[in-house]
A and B are shown apart, each in its own frame.
Chain A
Amino acid sequence: MKKPNTQPLSLRVPEPSGRPGDAPDFSHLQFDPAGSVDRPAVSTTPFEMRDHAFKLVRVLDDDGKAVGPWNPMLDAETLRRGLKAMILTRAFDDRMHRAHRQGKTSFYMKCTGEEAIAVAQGMILNREDMGFPTYRQQGLLIARGYPLVEMMNQIYSNASDPIKGRQLPIMYSSKEYGFFTISGNLGTQVPQAVGWAMASAYKGDDKIAISWIGDGATAEGDFHNALTFAAVYRAPVILNVVNNQWAISSFMGIAGGLETTFASKAIGYGLPALRVDGNDFLAVWAATQWAEERARTNQGATVIELFTYRGAPHSTSDDPSRYRPGDEHEKWPLGDPIARLKQHLIALGEWSDEQQTAAEAEAVEQVRAAGKESEAIGTLGQSRPSVKTMFEEVFATEDWRLVEQRREVGV
């Protein structure tokens, strides 16, 4: 017999809590107070720590004090290095965003509000470990001291571009700095990171891999494949999900984050998960260290959801005022990662407003100096690598087609 419905079926399409013109509303978010989430032993089974996928590890409280079992007890010098790298990352973003507006390049993407993630993680891991970043982990290169000039040369596709004018701006690549070549295709790097980690394990090496993916891209099949392979082969890899609430104009509910957390997705794969305040430098540091120890001691992969907010437009081609409340970022309840670490260092008596102002000025000056150097080589269209290089490195050696086509161009 045909079974009737009690009411007609209806399709649910998730919507964010606020649209342009609305007041930002984060009342649906509930956060564990700083220091309240327990720190399980690194050897804890994923089964025993499932609750952590729904909690939020936080170290810095509202007064900027480091509290609770996740306090990584960093010395002041390390904290200052972290703060300065975040300040420099933001200054770099601001200048390059402006450079786009001035027509010096075709494209740029800022990471405003997310600086703590790549900076802390870049400082923790060794350069010999391989990072498989997305396009929003520029802080990793900056924290490791990669030359700003080289980043700009890439953004300007000028004659000194380390990847020879072949890639869209910000798609950096540096083997030496443990920064895997960025792809425009979302999610692809995550199972590659797992493969890299499998290779390290296969060779009995001591290196680990770390990958990043945004909340939106977790919907890609690659994310599922990565978690499956990481779990099956117990790969030494840290799998970060940077949940900045937005995938261009789609809020994280469209990616499947409305009724659950992204960290919780690890549970079904048998992987441990930590969910972390991504604007809390110390919490990011501590969680990453936990996952690092797990990977280095052959206990396998960890999924870390870094809960944050994308403060800037998605890219220079995006206008967030078309889809979200204009002042949402200012109302973000987890604040700003730079302001919070600054407050902490001041509370420790290891920093001051004057030092902050000086550090910000110094960062701007550092970026300006690099900018001058890079722009002297040339901005987009003013300078570029030899056209001959367009045909090189398709293969290890050019085949006859490429030789013929290169000659057709006359180079």
Chain B
Amino acid sequence: MNMIQALNSAIDVKMSEDPNVLSFGEDAGYFGGVFRVTDHLQKKHGLTRSFDAPISECGIVAAAIGMGAYGLRPVVEIQFADYIYPAYDQIVSEAAKLRYRSGGQFTSPITVRSPYGGGIFGGQTHSQSPESLFTHIAGLKVVIPSNPYDAKGLLTAAIEDDDPVIFFEPKRLYNGPFDGWHEKPVSPWKAQELAQVPTGKYALPIGKARIMKEGADVTILAWGTMVWVSLAGAEHAGVDAEVIDLRTLVPLDIEAIEASVKKTGRCVIVHEAPKTSGYGAELSALVQERCFYHLEAPIARVTGWDTPYPHAFEWEYFPGPERVATALKAVMSGGR
């Protein structure tokens, strides 16, 4: 399966199993979503279980919160992460705080899915990576898969989770892995081991990282598309890097991070989002706090620039394997 099919399968399996699961969003019903993630669900499960929503992100999330409070497990789609902001108040002030502020009387077991990330000439409003706006909010879980197998297992877990989950889907990875070498032809998922997706139900634990490649020299922390870019960057630099796909930013697998950095003594963090106050800053602080006496070089961050996401300068903005390689070499020589 590609990532789209894997995500579709996760929702399909959960809808088949649990009548409280339903799916809606803009164009997510009859048409099956602009990226086809909800394709065929309406035909299979009916009009009231997979339906189209008005163009109102705030309304979509608010309705989901109300449904969640009633006892359903809605899975809603925000067409692009760039358009999640109208729902920000509902997510931050309501979904995230419902359990806490009601003393556990009301909960918000909702999943907000949204295509995310750049590398597709999406310009300002089809490329953003707003994860750090959500990791900062107490009460939200933030999940970002990098491959079809994880995508299905994590989305299944998100739907089953009793807390609100922001589930960002790197749209650059929907049809195949992308390592940032944009001039090379992209290969489809089917050649990859992680595209072997069981058709039945399985869930992956939220809060567990995946070591994509073991290594001895430096730890790379990445998620989404940057996992593949990091692998390519390490290869390009000729550095024996340990590449960790965090998979979930909140809750974070701090044990995996600590164990790896204490082993390698070096750490490079790679994300697409702008640098300032990006989740990389949090990771860097955590590594510094917990692995200080094991560090042999300053922690490096390879990120998007502190600009809006540009159109014409896609590949100057997008943190590609060459920038990762440069950072790896600098960290290996102990400097910046």
Q: Do A and B come from one complex?
A: yes
B138 lies within 8 A of chain A by Cβ: yes
The contact string, 1 if C-beta is below 8 Å from chain A, for chain B 49-68, is 10000101011001111110
| Residue of A171, A173, A184, A195 with highest tally of chain B CB at under 10 A | A195
A228 in contact with B54 (CB, 8 Å): yes
Distance between Cα atoms of A200 and B48 in the complex (Å): 12
Cβ of B101 under 8 Å from chain A: yes
Kindly provide the distance from the CB of A94 to the nearest chain B CB, expressed in whole angstroms. 27
Closest residue on chain A to residue B105 by CB atoms? A175
**B308 interface residue (CB < 8 Å to A):** no
Q: Mark A177-219, 1 if CB is under 8 A from B, else 0.
A: 0001101110010011111111110110000010000000000
Known: A185-B93, A394-B138. A198 touches B66 (CB 8 A): yes
B103 near A183: Cβ-Cβ < 8 Å: no
Contact check, B66 vs A192: say whether CB atoms are below 8 A apart: yes
Q: Does A95 contact B (CB under 8 A)?
A: no
Q: Is the CB of B94 within 8 A of A183?
A: yes
Nearest residue in B to A399 (C-beta to C-beta)? B251
Interface size class of A (residues with CB under 8 A): 35 or more
Q: Which of B56, B102, B161 contacts A225 (CB 8 A)?
A: B56
Instruction: Return chain A residues, CB-CB under 8 Å to B89.
Output: 185, 188, 222
* Cβ–Cβ < 8 Å partners of A164 in chain B: 103
CB proximity of A234 to chain B, nearest CB, Å: 12
State whether the Cβ of B332 lies closer than 8 Å to any Cβ in chain A: no
In the complex, whether B239 has a CB less than 8 A from a CB of chain A is: no
Per the 8 Å Cβ criterion, residues 78-124 of B in contact with A are 86, 89-90, 93-94, 97-107
Contacts of A394 in B (CB 8 A): 99-100, 138-139
B207 is an interface residue with CB less than 8 A from chain A: yes
- Judged by a CB distance under 8 angstroms, whether B198 is at the interface is no
State in angstroms the CA–CA spacing of A92 and B102 once bound together. 22
Among candidates B66, B106, B107, residue contacting A195 with C-beta atoms closer than 8 Å: B66
Closest-CB distance, A12 to chain B (whole angstroms): 29
B67 touches A173 (CB 8 A): no
- B226: min CB distance to chain A, Å: 23
Interface bracket on B: 35 or more
Is B181 at the interface (CB under 8 A from chain A)? no
Contacts A183-B93, A196-B67, A200-B70: A232 and B54 contacting too (C-beta < 8 A)? yes
Q: Across the interface, do A167 and B93 meet the contact criterion of CB distance under 8 Å?
A: no
**Pairwise interchain contact B93-A188, C-beta atoms closer than 8 A:** yes
Chain A residues with CB under 8 A of B211: none
A195 lies within 8 A of B103 (CB): no
Inter-subunit contact A162/B69 (CB<8 Å):
no
**Known contacts A173-B101, A192-B69, A196-B69; A226/B59 CB under 8 A:** yes
User: Which A residues lie within 8 Å of B70 (CB)?
Assistant: 130, 195-196, 199-200, 203
Residues of chain A within 8 A of B64, CB atoms compared: 195
* A107 CB within 8 Å of chain B: no
Report if B335 contacts A (CB, 8 A).
Answer: no
Q: Which of B124-169 contact A (CB under 8 A)?
A: 138-139, 141, 161-163
Query: How many angstroms between the C-alpha atoms of A396 and B206 in the bound complex?
Result: 13
Chain A residues near B62: list those with CB within 8 A.
188, 191-192, 194-195, 222, 225-226, 229
- Indicate if the CB atoms of B103 and A163 lie closer than 8 Å: yes
Q: Would you give the shortest CB distance from B251 to chain A, in whole angstroms?
A: 4
Contact of B205 with A by CB under 8 A: no
- Contacts A192-B94, A196-B66 known; 16 new A-B pairs at CB < 8 A: A162-B103, A164-B103, A166-B101, A173-B102, A174-B105, A188-B94, A192-B62, A194-B62, A195-B67, A196-B70, A202-B72, A221-B58, A228-B56, A393-B104, A395-B141, A395-B163
Which 9 A-B pairs have CB atoms at the shortest separation, nearest pair first? A195-B66, A195-B63, A191-B62, A225-B59, A199-B70, A181-B102, A196-B66, A192-B66, A163-B103
Show the binding face of A for B, using Cβ within 8 Å: 130, 132, 162-164, 166-167, 171, 173-175, 180-181, 183-185, 188, 191-200, 202-203, 209, 221-222, 225-226, 228-229, 232, 393-396, 399-401
Please name 30 pairs of A and B residues whose Cβ atoms are closer than 8 Å in the assembled complex, sorted by A: A130-B69, A130-B70, A163-B101, A163-B102, A173-B105, A173-B106, A174-B105, A175-B105, A181-B102, A184-B93, A188-B94, A191-B62, A191-B90, A192-B62, A192-B66, A193-B66, A194-B62, A195-B65, A199-B71, A202-B67, A202-B72, A222-B58, A222-B90, A228-B54, A229-B56, A393-B99, A394-B100, A395-B139, A400-B251, A400-B254
